Chains A and B, each alone.
Chain A
Amino acid sequence: MNPSRTNPAQTNSARAMVRTSGLLLVLALLCLPWADFSVQTQSPGRELTKLMQGLFMPVWPETGTLLSALLNTLAFAFEGVALGAIWGFVLALLYRWQAVRLFAASIRAVHELFWALIFIQLFGLSTPAGVLAIAVPYAGIFAKVYGELFEEVDPAPGQALPAGTSRLSALLFTTLPQAWPHLAAYTRYRLECGLRSSAVLGFIGLPTLGYHLESLLRQGFYAEGAVYFYALLVLIATLPWWCHRRALPVFLIGSVLWLPPLTSLNPALMARFLTHDIVPAPLRAGDPSSLLPWLSQLWFDQIAPGLGNTLVLAMLALVVMALIGLLSFPMVSRLFGHRASRGAGHLLLVVLRSLPEYLLAFMALILLGPSMLPAVLALGLHNGAIVGHLVGQYSNALQLRDDASRGLNRYFFEVLPRQYRLFLAFTLYRFETVIRETAILGMLGIPTLGFFIDSAFSEFRFDRALVLLIATALLNIAVDAAARRLRQRLHLNQPLHYC
C-alpha cells in the first residue's frame, strides 16, 4: 500500500471498508434478538475449575490405546488427503469446464462430517468411510486451489512451445513445474487441516483421538482426557517439524499398512440406501402428488429454522472473530510488546489455531450447556486466532517512521488503518469457513442445519437428510459467492487458502 501510487479503484475504498464493517456489525446486532445465549449448566465456574484441574494434572491413559488413536488419526488424515489431492489434481486439469467447477463446488460445500455420516451408511464404521469422508470434500477444495494455481502461472513458457505440442506435454513441461512449489506448499498445509478433520471424525465414532476425547470429556473424566487433548495439540502444532517432504512416502505407506482402506461390502445394503432410503418418502410410496406438501413441511419445520439459526450464529461468530482478530494481532506483531509478550501471544494463538472448532465448541458446550454461546465462542476464538496470526505476520513488514507513536496511539493511528484492508479480506475469507462449521456444530445440539441433519440420520430418515444436506450445500455455495462479490467490490484481492 504505497501512498504515492494513487489507484483510482481505491479512491473511495476507505469509506467503503468502514461502511461494510458497520453494515456487518449492524446485521449482527439485528441477529441478537434471535440468539439464544443462555447458560444451561448449573455451575459453569465449578465445571471450568474441574476442567482446568484435569488439564493441569493429567492421568496417563493406557499407552496402547493412546498410541493406536494417534496412529489412526494420522492414517485417516494421510490417506484422505492423499486421495483427495489425486482426485483434486485430475479435476483441476479439467477446471476449464463449467460442469467440473460446479461438481467441485458442490462436493466441497458438504462438510467432511456430513460426508462421514453418508459413508458410514454405505460402508459401516470402517476405514474407507473415514478416508472417503476426508478425500471427497478435500478433492473439491484441491480442484479449486490447484485450478487457480494453474491459471496463475506465467503463460509465456507455454506460448513459446512449438505448435502441435500436446496438451499433456505442455502441462508437464511448463504449467506443472511452475505451479509445483505452490501446489506442494498448499498440499502440505492441507495435511494440517486433514489432521483436524481426522480427529473430529472421532466424535461420530471413528477410532481417532476425537473418539476418546468425546467419551472421556462427556463423562467428566477431564484428567483422563487431558493426555488425548495434548496429544492432538502437539501433533498439529509440531507438524512443520516432523512432516518433511521426503518422509511423506513413508508416512503414506505406513498409513496404508496400519489402516488398510478395506472393508467387506454389503452390496444389497448399499443399493438399498442409494435407490430406496434416500428417495423422498412420498415418491417411495408411489404418491408424487404429496411430494410438495412433504417438502414444504420439511422447509417450515427444519430447513427454515435451521437456516435462520445458522445465519444468526454465523453473523455473531463473525463479529466475535473480528474482535478477537483485532485484539490478538498486536500480541504477535513485532511493532508491539517485547520478546516475552510476543512469545506468550504466539503460544496462545497456536493453541487456538491448532484445536478444531468442533472440539472447542464441544468443550465450551460441556461448560455452558447447549445454547449458541459455546458455538459463537468456539468459532470466534479459533477463527479470530487465525485472523490475528495472519494480520500480525503481515504487520511485521510495515516500516514505521522514526518518530512513530507508541502503544494505543500506534495501534489505532499507524497500524490498524494500514492493516484494515488485509484484516477485512481475511475476515471475509474466514466467514465462508465459519458458515460451513456453523452448520456442523448443530451436531452438538445447537439447532442449526447440522442438528436436523444429524437427527435425520439417527432416525434413519435418509430422504430428509439428503434434502437438508442439499440445502446446506446451497447455503455454502451462496455465501461463497456473496463473500467473493463483496471482496471484489472492496478490492480485497489478498489470496488466502486456509482451512
Chain B
Amino acid sequence: MNSTAPLFNVNQAELSLGGRVILRDLNLQIHSGERVALLGESGSGKTTLLRSLRQQHPAEVAWCPQQASLVPLLSVFHNLYMGRLDQYHTLYNLRNLVWPAAERRREVSAWAERLGLEGRLNYSVDRLSGGQQSRVNLGRALYQQRPVFIGDEPVSAVDEHQADDLLRLIIERHTTVILALHNIEQALTHCQRIIGLKDGRVILDAPSRELKAADLAALYPAAV
C-alpha cells in the first residue's frame, strides 16, 4: 500500500494494563497520511492501543483522551492554552496563567470560536455543559497543532451534526488521524481504513470503501 517506513509499527506485541493483558498477537502498521478508525465494543482494548501508539511518537501526537481531563477551576482559555505548555518557557506560561498575553488570547479565542465556544473563554470549565467540556477537551488537542491526531471517542458527547463538522475539522488540520469511534457511520464516512477489535485481538483491518455497515456488526454483541 505504501512503500515508505510506517509511522506507527506494532509487531507481535502484547499490551497490558495494570498487569492484565488487554491485546495480544498485535501486528499493525500505520503510515503517515492515513485516516484510521478503531471500532469495537467498550473494553475491547481501543484505549490501550491508542495509548501505546501515542507513546511511539509523543512529541508529534495531539492527544485527545476520552476522559475530558480538564482542570475544573481554570478557564476555557487556560484549558486550551495547556495544550501548548511545552512550547513556551515556564515563566511565560505562568504569566499567561495570571494574565493572558493579548496574542495568545487572540489565537485561543479563534479556536474557541471555531469550536462553538465563543463568549465562554473566561468561564471556568466546571460551569460548562458536558458537550461544551468535551469540545474544550478536543480543542486542547487541536490547539497543539501537531501532525498526528490520536483521539479516543473525541466527539461522542456532542450531537451528530456537530460531530461530523468536528471530525472534518480534525481531518483538515492533521496529516495522520487515528480515532476510536463508536459510531459506525462516522467511521465509514470520515476514515479510509477501519480496524476492528474484539476480545483482545484485531479481527478486521480493511479499507472502508470495501466495507458496509453490516460487515461491522460482527464487532458488537449479537444480542443488540
Contacts and interface: CB of A to CB of B under 8 A. Distances in A.
Contacts of B74: 14, 413, 417
Interface stretch (A23-31, A281-289, A396-404): A396-404
Given A3-B133, A401-B63, A403-B63, A409 B90 contact: yes
Interface stretch (B36-44, B106-114, B121-129): B121-129
A401 B126 contact: no
Given A412-B93, A417-B74, A3 B63 contact: no
Contact of B78 (A15, A400, A413, A420): A413
Interface in B66-80: 67-74, 78
A109 to B, nearest CB: 34
A14 B127 CA distance: 10
Contacts of B78: 413
A405 B85 contact: yes
Contacts of A420: 73
A10 B126 contact: yes
B182 interface: no
Given A3-B70, A7-B126, 17 more contacts: A3-B68, A3-B133, A4-B133, A11-B127, A14-B73, A14-B124, A17-B73, A399-B67, A400-B69, A402-B51, A402-B63, A402-B65, A403-B58, A409-B90, A413-B74, A413-B82, A418-B72
Interface string A415-433: 0011011000000000000
A11 B128 CA distance: 9
Interface string B78-106: 10001001100010011001000000000
A211 B129 CA distance: 61
B174 interface: no
Contacts of B120: none
A413 B93 contact: yes
Contacts of B116: none
A412 B72 contact: no
A239 to B, nearest CB: 34
Given A402-B54, A413-B97, A417-B71, A408 B90 contact: yes
Contacts of A247: none
Nearest to A410: B85
Which of B55, B61, B125, B126 has the most chain A CB atoms closer than 10 A to its own CB? B126
Nearest to B93: A409
B72 A3 contact: yes
A10 to B, nearest CB: 6
A417 B126 CA distance: 12
B130 interface: yes
For this complex, into which size category does the number of interface residues on chain B fall? Answer: 20 to 34
Interface residues of A, number: 27
A11 B90 contact: no
B124 A401 contact: no
A409 B85 contact: yes
Interface in A81-127: none
Contacts of B68: 3-4
A404 B65 CA distance: 11
Contact of A14 (B54, B86, B126, B133): B126
A250 interface: no
Contact of B129 (A6, A408, A418): A6
A3 B71 CA distance: 7
Given A4-B133, A6-B128, A412-B97, A399 B72 contact: no
A401 B65 contact: yes
Contacts of B126: 1, 3, 6-7, 10-11, 14
A414 interface: yes
A401 B69 contact: yes
Contacts of B128: 6
B168 to A, nearest CB: 24
A495 interface: no
A211 B71 CA distance: 50
A418 B85 contact: no
17 contacts: A3-B72, A3-B126, A4-B68, A7-B126, A10-B126, A14-B74, A14-B124, A17-B73, A402-B51, A402-B63, A402-B65, A405-B82, A408-B90, A409-B85, A412-B93, A414-B82, A417-B71
A409 B91 CA distance: 9
Nearest to B73: A417
B142 to A, nearest CB: 14
Nearest to B81: A413
Interface in A366-410: 399-405, 407-409
Given A402-B63, A412-B94, A1 B54 contact: no
Interface in B43-58: 51, 54-55, 58
